Structure 1
Amino acid sequence: MARPNPELINALRRTAKKLKDGAPYQWGHMGGCNCGNLAQELTKLSKDQIHTYAMQRYGDWNEQVDDYCSTSSLPIDIVINEMLNAGLMLEDLKHLEKLSDKQVLARFAVERRLTLKHNVRDDVVAYMAEWANLLEENLLEKIQLPNFSEAVVV
């Protein structure tokens, strides 16, 4: 699971909002699909730039992730590297493309979980929003505030 951090949480929420508000979405387009839209937000590249970079190597996001090399100078590997630097793991990209992370899915009601489709805009929006909520909860659990009640003298 991704490393929870404010940048990634906000990027997921911004991406979900943009998709909800009508940003271009096309599951078969490397720059306009689930991962492509998040990549746009994290890298500030356009959907066409991301797609062009991905087409320099074969395959969809799953295959691109399988072939990812951190020391490669291929543009798509640089894009993936930026996404990883934002806190994502390679498996997160595969799960996002298929809406398949079990921790995220467990947060949906069973009937909703069973009807989520990886290539339906509204389902992608719901998944990203719920993933952001999960990451935020994980981040907040890690925050330790000092116990000031013991130090208060009246």
Structure 2
Amino acid sequence: MATPNPELIAAIERTISNLQSGASYQWGHMGACNCGNLAQELTKFSKAEIHQFAMQRHGDWNEQLIDYCPTSGYPMDLMVNKMLEFGLTIDDLSHLERLSDPAILSRIEKEKRDQLNKNRREDVIFYLQVWANLLREKWLGEQDILDEIISEKKLKLPALV
């Protein structure tokens, strides 16, 4: 699962907003699919640029993620690398394209989960919303733990005279 952080959460939320506002969505288009829409937000590349990068090799997002090599020099790999810098993992991207992350799916009631369609805009938006909420909860939990650690360390400091 992605490393929760405000930049990634905000990018997912902007992707949700873009999709809700009618951003281009086409599951079979490398720049306008599930990963493509998030990639636009994280990398600032256009859907056409992302698609052009992807067409330099074979396969959809999942196949290209399997072949990902951070030192290949392929534009697609450089773009994926940029996405990973935001705390994502290859598995996160693969799951996003298929709406299949077990941690996210476990938060969705069975009836809705069983009807999720990887290439339906509304389902992608819903999945992204659940994911953003999960990441926010984890990030806030980590902040609470850090606050506790800092408080404990302050209590253990010798009194200054």
Same fold? TM cut 0.5? yes
1:137 match: 137
1:55 match: 55
Calculate the TM-score normalised by the size of structure 1.
0.94
Deviation at 1:147, TM superposition (A): 4.2
2:86 match: 86
Task: After TM superposition, list the pairs within 5 Å mapping 1:1-154 onto structure 2.
Answer: 1-143=1-143, 144-145=146-147, 146-147=150-151
Q: What secondary structure does 1:17 align onto?
A: helix
Deviation at 1:57, TM superposition (A): 0.2
**AA paired with 2:68?**
Y
How many Å separate the matches in 1 of 2:95 and 2:104? 10
Identify unmatched segments of 5+ residues in structure 2: 156-161
Structure 1 stretches of at least 4 aligned residues deviating more than 4 Å after TM superposition = none
**AA paired with 2:114?**
L
When Rg is computed on C-alpha atoms for both structures, the one with the higher figure is 2
Deviation at 1:27, TM superposition (A): 0.2
How many Å separate the matches in 2 of 1:64 and 1:147? 46
Q: How big is the alpha-carbon RMSD for the aligned residues of Structure 1 and Structure 2? A: 1.4
Q: What secondary structure does 1:135 align onto?
A: helix
How many Å separate the matches in 2 of 1:82 and 1:14? 17
How many Å separate the matches in 2 of 1:62 and 1:39? 14
**AA paired with 1:5?**
N
How many Å separate the matches in 2 of 1:53 and 1:125? 25
**AA paired with 2:106?**
A
Calculate the TM-score normalised by the size of structure 2.
0.90
User: How many residues in Structure 1 have an aligned counterpart in Structure 2?
Assistant: 150
Q: What secondary structure does 2:71 align onto?
A: coil
Deviation at 1:17, TM superposition (A): 1.0
**AA paired with 1:52?**
Q
How many Å separate the matches in 1 of 2:151 and 2:78? 43
How many Å separate the matches in 2 of 1:24 and 1:76? 20
Deviation at 1:2, TM superposition (A): 0.5
Identify unmatched segments of 5+ residues in structure 1: none
